[in-house]
Homo-oligomer: A and B are copies of this chain.
Amino acid sequence: MNVLPPSNRKSLAALSAAMPEGILLTAEADMAPYSRDWSGDHYGRPLAVARPRTVEEVSTLMKICFREGIPVVPQGGLTGLVGAAVAAPQGGEVVISLERLNKLRSISGIDFAMVVEAGCILEEAKNFAEAHDCVLPITFGAQGSCRIGGNVATNAGGFNVLRYGMTRDLVLGLEVVLGDGRVWNGLKVLRKDNRGYDLKQLFIGSEGTLGIITAAAFKLFPRATQVETALVGLRSVEDAMALYARARRECSDLLTAFELILRGGIDIALNAGTGLTDPLTAPYPVYVLIEASAGGRVDLKAILEDFLGDAGDIVVDGVVASSKAQAERLWLLRETMVETQGGGGRYLRTDVSVPISKLADFVTDALAALAHHHPEALAVTYGHVGDGNVHLNIVPPHNSTPDAIEDLFHATETIIFDVVDRYGGSISAEHGIGRVKQKAFLDRVDKVTLDIAGRLKDAFDPKHILSDGRILGAHSRIGV
């Protein structure tokens, strides 16, 4: 049993005195679910876990934390994978879980807009939209666990970015509790509003370091009444990119997903023991899972079939799903690959992007360098190539020692990031920086960018109590 230092005991006493019964958890067992992220890789022991039920309770909590200088870390569904939302390893941080702020506040199919609280599970928010014949097009594997506040705070990406943009592009307004406990009410459903600075942009993608998002207003789209899915086999990543450029034009920009999978990933899914079979008649080096969606009066199936039929110079083999069940089986290939790629053990995740025109070269170069230097490692390559975004993951050999795994992760990440740098890419396309990518980020960022970021941090979190040490270094005071 840990004995708390006096400053921590004072912090806990101040919080306990101010908050109603049932808001604060301090017992080890109660805090366990809030201490480790979904991957299991990232752990931090919180000083306490606060579970406020209203924006007023978040505000009260932050007023005390600001006054007493208590560091906090806002937490959503813990699926961010970069260690941004678990407590700091050195201890002393209060986790503020937004899970009980989970109201679906309002929706309008005429405004094509809805307002939901930060703690809503993404899938519940999506279902809310669907029930009103609309779609909230934030779509990815973790949607059954992640929460809206985390989606906004990390500017989540996913499958539909090529059509609808990142989460940022879908946010019409925010409600945020500032570091000093004041509430900024920027909730609105206006499609156009140029009254001064667009302050919500500050908080989107700031990973909890500038404020605590408590609710968000989203732009919605008409619910698709037609969804067509195809899997095609190709000769190369170059061909996948050529097909993408053509598909955007010929499918009237109605694509909602364009997912690259190399053969290795398909093998992982087929060998997972879940009974999946190869939908195509022979193996191909490269696959693309294509989805197009539309409402209204287009004949989407004909568009996709005609497009693929005329792309015989590129498409070697392919199947257009003839039923919803068949479409789901095609997607299951991808999901199974993602879920089973590590074989139950640890693996290195990367999440990089390059300009779309450089993606084929990036994959070729990175895989060649990995094969040359680390032939023992399994590289799994897939991604949202319509956005130039690839997940290039590294699975260590069976029976590697923990130290050997660490060494391999470090060496292969360095190789991958070097190629990213060469093509002017990003070492974090979707997941953000958190703690895990911090060194790689700070190694690469230019001084002016760092100065601007530091000024923002200092202006909005002068005591550095908000998720300090994520993105920027701990207690970084970089500004003027």
Residues of A within 8 A of B (CB): 108-113, 133, 154-155, 157, 161-162, 165-166, 168-169, 178, 182-186, 188-199, 201-202, 204-206, 210, 221-222, 241, 245, 248-254, 294-298, 302-303, 306-307, 353-357, 384, 386-389, 424-433, 437, 441, 445-446, 448-449, 452-453, 455-456, 458-460, 462, 471-472, 479-480
Smallest beta-carbon distance A126→chain B, Å: 18
Question: Chain B residues near A252 (CB, 8 Å)?
Answer: 252, 254, 294-298
- Also in contact, A196 and B433, with CB within 8 A (given A241-B110, A387-B191): yes
State the Cβ distance, A111 to closest chain B Cβ, in Å: 5
A99 CB, nearest partner CB in chain B, Å: 23
Decide: A108 near B357, CB < 8 A? Known: A252-B296, A252-B298: yes
Instruction: Decide: A197 and B191 in contact? CB cutoff 8 A.
Output: no
A307 to B460 alpha-carbon distance, docked (Å) = 50
CB–CB B296/A249 < 8 A: yes
Of the residues B157, B205, B297, B384, contact of A250 by C-beta under 8 Å? B297
B194 and A388 within 8 A (CB)? no
Given contact pairs A110-B245, A297-B303, A459-B458, A192 touches B355 in the complex (Cβ within 8 A): no
Number of copies: 2
Kindly list chain B residues whose C-beta atoms are within 8 Å of the C-beta of A194: 154-155, 157, 205, 426, 428-433
Q: Are B355 and A253 within 8 A (Cβ)?
A: no
Contacts of A479 in B (CB 8 A): 459
Give the chain B neighbours of A297 by CB distance below 8 A.
Answer: 250-252, 302-303, 306-307
Chain B residue nearest in CB terms to A306: B297
Taking a contact as CB atoms under 8 Å apart, the answer to whether B480 and A446 are in contact is: no
Chain B residues in 8 Å Cβ range of A446: 185
A285: shortest Cβ distance to chain B, in Å?
A: 21
A190 touches B431 (CB 8 A): no
Closest beta carbon of chain B to A421's beta carbon, Å: 12
In the docked arrangement, what's the CA distance between A253 and B224, Å?
10
B108 and A192 within 8 A (CB) = no
Residue from A161, A185, A206, A251 whose CB has the most chain B CB atoms within 10 Å: A251
- Whether B199 lies near A205 (C-beta < 8 A) is no
Q: Compute how far the CA of A324 lies from the CA of B210 in the bound complex, rounded to whole angstroms.
A: 51
A155 to B, closest residue via Cβ: B194
In the complex, the answer to whether A387 meets B192 with C-beta atoms within 8 Å is yes
